[in-house]
Amino acid sequence: MPQLYIPKFHRQRFLLYVLEKSNGILLKADFFKQLFLLHQKAEFAYYDFIPYHSNYYSFQAENDINILEKQGWLKESGDNIVLLKSIINQSNNVKDILKIDYLSKQKSVLVKTSNFPQSQSNNKTNTLFTIGYEGISFDAYVNHLLKNKINLICDVRKNAFSRKFGFSKNIMLELLQKIDIQYEHIPELGIESSARKDLKTKEEYLKLFDKYQVSLPQKKTSLKYLIHLLEKYQHIAITCFEKKHQECHRHCISDYLQTKNNVKVIHL
């Protein structure tokens, strides 16, 4: 068994506390449900959740389970998750233990997956959405996609890599396929990282976007492909990092297509 280290992240310790307070073994489906219900009764949120196969699910929690298994804290055995070592005996931090004790005594909160936020619109018109992942978890990001019935993500980063869980190209492709959302990387519509280097003021960013806007007619092949994908999938989203579309080059793409192709655009 690998040497045990106290988990780095607070949420991972909380995950282990929940498992230990459940006698050290739970069906995996019940474990996600337990995590979800605790979050419904609490004022904190270590994880976000999505509706998945008539249950509650978190990609981030799944990833943490895999990390903790590699570290020797737990193991997956069949349909069960089994705790291998007491986190309570290893950590002096009782904050989360007390939280779980308190929450478990509160009135049960019954929440069905059907009560997750529903689609914001029944509009079947072809729509180009734009979305950034700055400041949100991958699960919260996915909930935006599900609410708006987005069928395809078009990644317009030049380099589709992120240190943040879920947002690197291969991981996004793998995870989104699990919820029947397709993924396309269109690096030709990205901006070289060197062009963003040392930009600080609003004026400097506006100059960058003006320069990018001028270059768009030279990217006809990629833009035509984007229109093709919109016609095929109806609801698609172009994605990049920045939270506000005005601070990201994706708004240049959507503005261009809205003007040249009369595309309906919604910024999330």
Predicted confidence (pLDDT) per residue in 165-198, tens digit: 999 999 999 999 999 999 999 999 999 887 877 7
Residue 2 is assigned to a structural domain of this protein: no
Q: Which two tokens stand for residue 136?
A: 């949100």
Both 96 and 136 in a single domain?
Answer: no
CATH number of the domain encompassing residue 26: 1.10.10
Q: Looking at the 3D structure of the chain, how many domains does it have?
A: 2
- Predicted TM-score (pTM) of the model is 0.88
87: phi > 0 → left, psi -120 to 50 → alpha, else beta; which? alpha
Residue 261 is assigned to a structural domain of this protein: yes
Both 81 and 137 in a single domain?
Answer: no
Both 144 and 253 in a single domain?
Answer: yes
Both 137 and 261 in a single domain?
Answer: yes
DSSP structure string for 79-95: TEEEE-S-HHHH----H
Residues 79-136: pLDDT tens digits?
999 999 988 776 655 556 656 665 555 555 444 545 555 555 566 789 999 999 999 9
Residue 122 is assigned to a structural domain of this protein: no
Please give the residue range of the domain that contains residue 65: 10-115
Report how far residue 149's alpha carbon sits from residue 121's, in angstroms, rounded to the nearest whole number.
9
Q: How confident is the model at residue 259 (pLDDT cuts 50, 70, 90)?
A: very high
